[in-house]
Chains A and B, each alone.
Chain A
């Protein structure tokens, strides 16, 4: 599950050593925008050391590398390649470049004798990237796609707004492409770290569009996003009742049945199961109605 992916600046030891305490599902150690050009060498060494020597259990660890055109990509990869690295987050992704990235990753994996392939989460943050979303989604190694709203707006020469209406089209494209490919759809970060209300609304919008998670640029955003993506108590109550009624119906060899006057069939049951899964609920007991 990648409901929250927390960006941590790659050259910041104090933030790095506490990255794993905030309850994010994954941590994106950033070598790209968060690191000045003159500190790229220091950041990749630091992130590499962290990945290879941190002793405690952590959430999934990812690294946002510098892209191929920067000339730093291969050095980044060389420094961070290890089995702890789950995936690279690849900026300004386009389909041609990602084929090349895949090839280089294969070489690195062989050279470093890695036990697991390194995944890719491309950031869709250009008009070209949005148009190529469908093709990208079926590339090998893909674990999900991440929407990059800031760079995309810059590329489109449009303004970002608090409500995010300008992202409606790329969001819809990305979430459908990800669903079809069976990978995670991760929404763009919300830029104003002091606006919890705006963040909650933005995360709810993303969820309603089919996103499975959201990138996080400040630890204080995590609980708000979790709140938006976790089903609310009423949904959970409904889902529990559907599952209980379905079990009952199955005993009586009924196909479709009704609950509160509404027809319940297979897609509804599947949705109810999805809600319980997202809420992390495994027991099937019917709970009390929430107040």
Chain B
């Protein structure tokens, strides 16, 4: 065991995190292009026959259909029927709808998982130690880096694509299962050894495809790749909850107070209720002062679509869509652009990933510690409930990273001495906004100076923790001492933390 620079124990054979500057060279692999049109098939079983699938392979998937996805379950059910063992799956995220995977972990069909986010029964099974090898949890940008550098070799990418033409070109903008941007499957398309498009809508020719058919080996047409209503899962409306609104108002005041709301700014926010409320407050200030933003990025919602159409935002840089208004907007508005995972957050992307061009990002936290390290991967008992997604990517790239969270949730203080699991290093977090006060990272004296005299209640993060303790009492903090069930891989490929079972 080694310790990384945050003091977390990292198993031998992995590269321990050492500060959030890039430290690993890119190992580019050649893009694969199939010279002729792909082969069209009718069932997943036909594809398995054609592919010569073997034990120990890695299959990748994307999560753009989110809680409505059917493709991962279909393919893995076929893998079980085929009697395959020891597979690694690399979906960009895993949702509760992927529950059918759980028995495949028990039976050894799946022994490895590489993903950016997981929530639900599969995450519970991984936490319980049912996966043979530790899961690897990447960031959205880090997954692109891992695939493009060769850290994550993919044997077959099974990619749900809402509409595919006779040349194997594809798009997510149209089709009965249209889900909008297909940003996260771009590295899989270009770097996987074999690429299979799974679609439920075939057309003769797409005028402006998003996905280049020259990289596609097989196309399978099935009845349904998913339920697009499931895209909306996990995202919410603007909170009506007074504490959330108070936090949002103060977060907007912080962003304004440090001088970020000026003509041509750029922003990203999460899709949680409080983040949406921050955007609503920022929007009010923009209208009052006649300020326009250059772009907004990330997961796109109806709220950003409205701002684009009102001329408040110059462009949307869309890596995934969180609701059907966003999907619809992407299909018709040229200022609403789809971008790839690499363009979005890959630290190796040149000249620079889009996150580096963000003026500010507003993010959530399940826990935050006195060093400002943030956990959005596990709960406080060490159970996996999420993952970075774009958290660590945007926190590193943006000029100012604002974390919004209730100080106390269900009696649990959100600030603690040391987070249960580090998802994003504290050196990338600048301001924490809670309902009982605001803490500024001590490194950001510039922000602190600008906020002085703003009337906002700013105090050291330890005092905020003490306030929480005065309300709740000091909780017992359970420790996890069992075997490692997941490695948290920072965007540069280093290991920033691990998740363990409760007891050995």
Complex: A219 Cα to B245 Cα, angstroms: 10
| From A21, A55, A218, A223, contact of B435 by CB (8 A) | A21
Say whether, besides A18-B435, A21-B435, A21-B436, A55 and B471 are in contact (CB < 8 Å): yes
Q: Does B418 contact A (CB under 8 A)?
A: no
Q: Does B3 contact A (CB under 8 A)?
A: no
Q: Does B202 contact A (CB under 8 A)?
A: no
Residues of A within 8 A of B470 (CB): 55-56
Q: Does A22 contact B (CB under 8 A)?
A: yes
Residues of B within 8 A of A220 (CB): 242, 245
Residues of B within 8 A of A21 (CB): 243, 246, 435-436
Complex: A103 Cα to B249 Cα, angstroms: 45
| From B243, B249, B408, contact of A223 by CB (8 A) | B249
B: contact size bracket: 10 to 19
Give B388-429 interface residues, CB cut-off 8 Å to A.
408
Residues of A within 8 A of B291 (CB): none
**Interface residues of A: mostly helix, strand, loop or mixed?**
loop
Q: Would you call B242 and A218 a contact (CB within 8 A)? A: yes
Shortest C-beta distance, A207 to chain B (Å), equals: 21
Q: Does A17 contact B (CB under 8 A)?
A: yes
Task: Kindly name the residue among A17, A18, A220, A223 whose own CB sees the greatest number of chain B CB atoms within 10 A.
Answer: A18
Residues of B within 8 A of A223 (CB): 249
Chain A residue at minimal CB-CB distance from B467: A56
**Interface residues of B: mostly helix, strand, loop or mixed?**
helix
Residues of A within 8 A of B471 (CB): 17, 55-56
Complex: A220 Cα to B471 Cα, angstroms: 23
Q: Would you call B467 and A219 a contact (CB within 8 A)? A: no
Chain A residue at minimal CB-CB distance from B247: A21
Residues of A within 8 A of B243 (CB): 18, 21
B462-477: CB near A (< 8 Å → 1, else 0) gives 0000010011000000
Chain B residue at minimal CB-CB distance from A194: B240
Shortest C-beta distance, A184 to chain B (Å), equals: 24
Residues of A within 8 A of B242 (CB): 18, 22, 218-220
Complex: A219 Cα to B467 Cα, angstroms: 21
Complex: A18 Cα to B243 Cα, angstroms: 8
Residues of A within 8 A of B249 (CB): 223
Shortest C-beta distance, B366 to chain A (Å), equals: 20
Chain A residue at minimal CB-CB distance from B437: A21
Chain B residue at minimal CB-CB distance from A280: B455
Chain B residue at minimal CB-CB distance from A219: B242
Residues of B within 8 A of A56 (CB): 467, 470-471
Chain A residue at minimal CB-CB distance from B473: A55
Chain B residue at minimal CB-CB distance from A221: B242
Residues of B within 8 A of A17 (CB): 408, 471
Residues of A within 8 A of B435 (CB): 18, 21
Complex: A22 Cα to B471 Cα, angstroms: 16
Q: Would you call A22 and B467 a contact (CB within 8 A)? A: no
Give A1-52 interface residues, CB cut-off 8 Å to B.
17-18, 21-22
Chain A residue at minimal CB-CB distance from B242: A219
Give A209-267 interface residues, CB cut-off 8 Å to B.
218-220, 223
Task: Kindly name the residue among A21, A55, A219, A220 whose own CB sees the greatest number of chain B CB atoms within 10 A.
Answer: A21
Shortest C-beta distance, B252 to chain A (Å), equals: 12
Chain A residue at minimal CB-CB distance from B249: A223
Complex: A220 Cα to B245 Cα, angstroms: 8
Residues of A within 8 A of B436 (CB): 21
Residues of B within 8 A of A18 (CB): 242-243, 435
Complex: A21 Cα to B407 Cα, angstroms: 11
Complex: A22 Cα to B470 Cα, angstroms: 18
Complex: A18 Cα to B407 Cα, angstroms: 11
Chain B residue at minimal CB-CB distance from A22: B246
Complex: A219 Cα to B246 Cα, angstroms: 9
A55-B471, A56-B471, A219-B245 known; 10 new pairs, CB 8 Å cut-off, are A17-B408, A17-B471, A18-B243, A21-B435, A22-B242, A22-B246, A56-B467, A56-B470, A219-B242, A220-B245
Cross-chain pairs A/B with CB under 8 angstroms, 13 sampled: A17-B408, A17-B471, A18-B242, A21-B243, A21-B435, A21-B436, A22-B246, A55-B470, A56-B470, A56-B471, A218-B242, A220-B245, A223-B249
Give chain B's interface residues, CB within 8 Å of chain A: 242-243, 245-246, 249, 408, 435-436, 467, 470-471
In the A-B complex, list the 5 residue pairs whose CB atoms are closest, starting with the nearest.
A219-B242, A55-B470, A21-B435, A18-B243, A56-B470
